[in-house]
Amino acid sequence: MAMLSIAEFSQPPSARHQYQVSPGWNRRLFPGRRLATGVRSLLKVLVAFVVGSVALLVAPTAAQAHSGSAAHSSYEVRSGDSLSVIARDHGISLPELAAANGISNVHLIKVGQVLQIPSLQPVSYTVAPGDSLSVIAKTIGATTADLIEMNGLEDANVIRVGQTLQLPAGSSVTALSPTASYPRLPSKLKASPERLTLIPVFERWAAHYGVDPALLMAVAYRESGWQTAVVSSSGAVGVGQIMPKTGEWIASDLIGEPGLDRWNADDNIRMSAKYLSWLAAYMGDMDLAVAAYYQGPGAVRAVGLYDDTVEYVANVNALRPYFQPG
């Protein structure tokens, strides 16, 4: 025989009653009040169980909540969260999320803290010639890893001209324009989008070899106007006007890559940057280094500066402010 336990929830546990149920039992076995009360209590338990089950089915999991879209107005910090991951998962930039919540230390958030998520959408950007993922990320205040994950990229070094990238919400696409970072560029350069694409190349190799980017850009502008196909009467080639023998020496002896090509703009600018870096150390003075770039280090040490060399150095120094970021 079964044992039926009916809990009268209006009474303490000690007041619960058990009844032995026989085959063919009927309502007369139970006092009417206790039966009615017990049935109502059982119904309450069943309703609570069903409601709870439905809530579990429709409630988002922690992972789902964590990866919610930027349309959510708030987010509660969970154990293991970081502000950068929350920003990435909601498609906004870290500075944007920090600013929206008045957070000065982006490394300090507390479990249970409720963050306000700005209702912003990701920004699209079309890759231009000369772009690199690292430069794009740095310009908009994101990380290369953020852009790789947002766009499902396999190789951070491979993006195509014309490719559309999704950037964190709030990113300023105009900041990716070279003229936005360098408002004082010479008008001839501003009118030449092709030459403007060389700016990231100048920045990359100047940083690599420890040369002031503005100086490198100014020297190259004085030499060629940033034109890649210019050849002088003496055989100097490209953006930095590298002479054949000088180019071979820079590539093989200074850089250790004899296969570098003076006709390739990236290689040419790289050789110019390395040469300026070497000249600065060799001559012990930046103006003398610029003079030696034009006249040759041997001639500068042997006879001093020619008149046209003095003019050249003055021109480069006059151009330098045009290539300072604004």
Distance CA 248, CA 242 (A): 9
Given this chain, do its domains 123-176 and 183-323 carry the same CATH topology? Answer: no
Measure CA 290 to chain center. Answer: 35
Q: 278-316, pLDDT tens digit by residue?
A: 999 999 999 999 999 999 999 999 999 999 999 999 999
Tell me which residue of 149, 162, 183, 153 sits closest to 67, measured CA to CA: 149
Tokens of 183: 């408002």
In whole angstroms, give the CA distance from residue 182 to residue 178.
Answer: 6
Task: Determine the distance from the C-alpha atom of residue 154 to the mean position of all C-alpha atoms in its chain, rounded to a whole number.
Answer: 15
Q: Name the pLDDT band for 62 (thresholds 50, 70, 90).
A: very low
Which residue ranges make up each domain of the chain? 3-58, 64-116, 123-176, 183-323
Q: Which amino acid is at 74?
A: S
Predicted confidence band at 202 (pLDDT cuts at 50, 70, 90)? very high
CA torsion, points 70, 76, 77, 83, in degrees to nearest 10? 30
Q: Report the 10 Å Cβ neighbour count for 312.
A: 20
Q: Which fold has domain 183-323?
A: Lysozyme (1.10.530)
Binned at pLDDT 50, 70 and 90, residue 118 comes out as confident
Please name the residue ranges forming H helices in the chain: 32-58, 62-66, 83-89, 94-100, 133-140, 144-151, 178-181, 187-190, 193-196, 199-209, 213-224, 244-249, 265-283, 286-295, 297-303, 307-319
Spatial contact of 83 and 77, defined as CB atoms under 8 Å apart: no
Within a 10 A sphere around the Cβ of 185, how many other Cβ atoms?
21
Q: Higher model confidence: residue 72 or residue 173?
A: 173
Please, which pLDDT band fits residue 74 given cuts at 50, 70 and 90? Answer: confident
Residue 33 pLDDT: 46
Q: Is the pLDDT of residue 9 over 60?
A: no
Give 13-57 pLDDT, tens digit per residue.
444 444 454 454 444 433 444 444 555 555 555 545 544 443 333
Q: For the chain, give the percent of residues with pLDDT over 90.
A: 44
Mean pLDDT of the chain: 79
* Whole-Å CA distances, 9 to 19, 195, 233: 17, 83, 103
Higher pLDDT, 68 or 232: 232
pLDDT at residue 52, as a whole number = 45
Helices (H) and strands (E) in the chain, counts: 16, 6
The predicted pLDDT at position 50 comes to 46
Cα–Cα distance measured from residue 182 to residue 199, given in angstroms and rounded to the nearest whole number: 10
Give the span between the Cα atoms of 92 and 88, in whole angstroms: 6
pLDDT digits (tens, 9 = 90+) for 252-286: 999 999 999 999 999 999 999 999 999 999 999 99
Q: What angle do CA 12, 14, 16 make, to 5 degrees?
A: 85
Instruction: Report the CATH superfamily, name and number, of domain 123-176.
Output: LysM domain (3.10.350.10)
> Buried b vs exposed e over 263-295: b needs ≥16 C-beta within 10 Å?
eebbbbbbbbbbbbbbbbeebeebebbbbbbbb
User: The domain at 64-116 falls in which architecture?
Assistant: Roll (3.10)
Q: Which residue has the higher pLDDT, 8 or 324?
A: 324
Q: Which residues contact 188 (CB under 8 A, 6 or more apart)?
A: 225
* Residue among 178, 121, 168, 172 nearest 148 (CA): 168
110-135 burial, b at 16+ Cβ within 10 Å, e below that, comes to: eeeeebebbebebbebebbebbbbeb
Q: What is the DSSP letter of 276?
A: H
Would you state the pLDDT for residue 44? 56
- Residue 200 pLDDT greater than 60, yes or no: yes
pLDDT, average across residues 130-142: 79
Rounded to whole angstroms, the Cα distance separating 34 from 23 reads 20
